[in-house]
A and B are shown apart, each in its own frame.
Chain A
Amino acid sequence: MSLEAGLGLTLGKLVLEVELAVATGELVVLLGPNGAGKTTLLRAIAGLVPLDRGRVVLDGDVLEDTAAGTRVPTEQRPVGFVFQDYLLFPHLSALENVAFGLRARGIPKAEARRRAAGWLDRVGLAASAGARPRALSGGQAQRVALARAMVGDPRLLLLDEPLAALDAATRTEVRRDLRRHLASFDGTRLLVTHDPLEAIALADRLVVLEAGRLTQTGTPAEVSAQPRSRYVAELVGVNLYRGLADGRSVRLPDGGAVVAADLNYGEVFAAIHPHAVALHRQPPEGTPRNVWSGTADTLEVIGDRVRIRVTGLVPIVAEVTPAAASELHLGDGGPVWATVKATEVTVYPA
């Protein structure tokens, strides 16, 4: 059982062009900044947004195929959708909300309510069955939304930022429960988020969507180790450069160069962790192959480390101890020299 979607569509300013495959058993998390098109992609798979071109195939059944002119309307797709703000029907109780999908499919009222009650019990909300959505807390509403989507035994479960509407304290606990419920679901699952923590906590495989296009896919570990875009690099907290490698030297478009320990050729990414960067006030002499002059710009305290952004031909973020930062008066800005050992530079094909 699986999902295959290759689609293109334009909605307002967003141009979405995506090829995505999700196998059963793997929980794929779609990660990306706001406006990347994550929600639109989910809605397109659910049939709420028409495709300009492409195909959506679920478990071998064609849900949409622009070339063949076929389109299965949303209400006939075996898809469960958990919306970002849950969208529980305000005029129905929690039980009626969960039973809605069953009643819509013609299941008699008593049977539908029985199954809905069973699901509410599974998510630990048997006591709130008669409550209206506005009387529920964020975490409770999320669980009702999940039960409502799953009660009809869909073959594909789509979750749009399921934890976004919760406060930080509730989020951790609900994330744990969500993980458990998703693990017991035996269909295909696709979850969307802009929160990297959520992505790493839940994903078997991570897919990064930026400005309508997929920029990277892999396990969370793979993606963190080798970021392929500014967005991911910033999430992971790594300095990322893209350039032309010619042996050990990577030439950057603006004119600077990064020296690595390994040999590489062609278009590459070069990643440098901030803690590998040393800063000096005097032109340094020593073994590091990478020596860049620049200006100390902004300073940020993160835990017991300080991150300094250095502007220049090769802009870089360095991580040092607070003692070091104050000793060099880095908070005052001014010219600095940044050094990085070649062995600390990770280079991989672009």
Chain B
Amino acid sequence: MGFLAVPLLGLLNQTPWGHLLAELTTPIALQALRLSLVCSLGAVAVSLLLGVPLAFVLARVEFPGRNFVRALTTLSMVLPPVVGGVALLLAFGRRGLVGRWLDEAFGITLPFTTAGAILAEAFVAMPFLVISTEAGLRAMDRRYEDAAATLGAGRWLTFRRVTLPLIAPSLGAGVALCWARALGEFGATITFAGNLPGVTQTMPLAVYIALETDLQAAIALSLVLLVVSLAVLISLRDRWFPTA
């Protein structure tokens, strides 16, 4: 317990409470805050767009290799983030598998861009959304969808008015975890998107750089991240720590 608490206490102890606001409103800090928000929300959007359909397929459709696909989905969750970043470079870098085609056909480059940062964060955070949503779909009684059909509801209406509300708790938890993970992502972002202030320097990266030159700023930004993590934890406490 002490092992987990002491570092956090150390952070709180060293926080420059006096000029916290000043530290958080320097141009560098504001850039990092804005970028973190944009990239993490972008990552959540990408995760929703790709992850919810994937969760549906995994939960509802029986196909050969389903277990393999599921394992692959969770791979980026346990993969060391730096390795994830390297993999992204090899796939989406200018000479990468897909990146080469993107560059030649559309002139799109992803490494060292904000879009690249979003991609890197989505890569590591999406599995949280997929797993939580898939669990919700599996736990749901599918006969509610049958009931909706007998009442005349087509597939889309059933999804909107019956399925989504029923899996909303799981989906919400998945989004919260996905967002928190995206916000805190470091290894994949710095490897794939680089550390360019205003373009890809999200908060975790800014903290890393600030450690060498401006400890106060580093602590201030770390505190913001800590508060966000706590907020996510508290909002999900009933799911993880249900009171009997």
Contact = CB atoms under 8 A, between A and B. Distances in A.
A104 B157 contact: yes
Interface stretch (B13-21, B71-79, B145-153): B145-153
Interface stretch (A75-83, A221-229, A279-287, A335-343): A75-83
B162 A101 contact: no
Contacts of B149: 47-48, 73-75
A75 B147 contact: no
Given A81-B147, A83-B147, A87-B147, A101 B152 contact: yes
B152 A87 contact: no
B76 to A, nearest CB: 33
Contact of B152 (A48, A90, A91, A105): A105
A62 B130 CA distance: 41
B153 to A, nearest CB: 4
Contacts of A90: 166
A89 B152 contact: no
Nearest to A96: B161
Contact of A87 (B144, B154, B157): B144
Interface string A33-77: 000000000010011100000000000000000000000011111
A87 B165 contact: no
Interface size classification for chain B: 10 to 19
A76 B157 CA distance: 13
Contacts of B214: none
B152 A152 contact: yes
Given A91-B166, A100-B148, A104-B148, A83 B143 contact: yes
A200 to B, nearest CB: 28
Contacts of A91: 165-166
Nearest to A85: B143
A148 interface: yes
Nearest to A148: B151
Contacts of A152: 151-152
A152 B148 CA distance: 13
A99 to B, nearest CB: 10
A89 to B, nearest CB: 6
A288 to B, nearest CB: 55
A185 to B, nearest CB: 16
Contacts of A105: 152
Contacts of B161: 100
Main secondary structure of the interface of A (DSSP, over half): mixed
A46 B143 CA distance: 13
Instruction: State which size class the interface on A falls in.
Output: 20 to 34
A168 B19 CA distance: 71
Select the residue from A47, A73, A77, A104 with max chain B CB neighbours within 10 A: A104
B166 A74 contact: no
A89 B153 contact: no
B146 A48 contact: yes
A79 B150 CA distance: 7
Interface string A148-190: 1100100000000000000000000000000000000000000
A43 B142 CA distance: 14
A75 B154 contact: yes
A74 B162 contact: no
Interface in A118-173: 148-149, 152
A89 B150 contact: no
A47 B152 CA distance: 12
Contacts of A101: 151-153
Contact of A104 (B144, B153, B165): B153
A105 B148 CA distance: 11
Contacts of B143: 83, 87
Interface string B73-103: 0000000000000000000000000000000
Contacts of B148: 89, 100, 104
Interface in B160-183: 161-162, 165-166
Contacts of A48: 146, 149-150
Interface in B107-156: 141, 143-144, 146-154
B152 to A, nearest CB: 4
Contacts of B157: 104
Nearest to B146: A48
Nearest to A151: B151
B153 A80 contact: no
Contact of B144 (A43, A80, A89): A89
Contact of B162 (A75, A77, A79, A89): A89
Nearest to B157: A104
Contacts of B146: 43, 48, 74, 81, 83, 87
A107 to B, nearest CB: 10
Contacts of B153: 75, 100-101, 104
22 contacts: A74-B146, A74-B150, A75-B150, A75-B151, A81-B146, A83-B143, A83-B146, A87-B141, A87-B147, A89-B144, A89-B147, A90-B166, A91-B165, A100-B161, A101-B153, A104-B151, A104-B152, A104-B153, A104-B157, A105-B152, A149-B150, A152-B152
Considering the complex of A and B, which 10 residue pairs feature the smallest CB-CB distances, nearest first? A101-B151, A81-B150, A74-B149, A104-B153, A104-B152, A87-B147, A91-B165, A75-B149, A105-B152, A75-B152
Interface of B: 141, 143-144, 146-154, 157, 161-162, 165-166
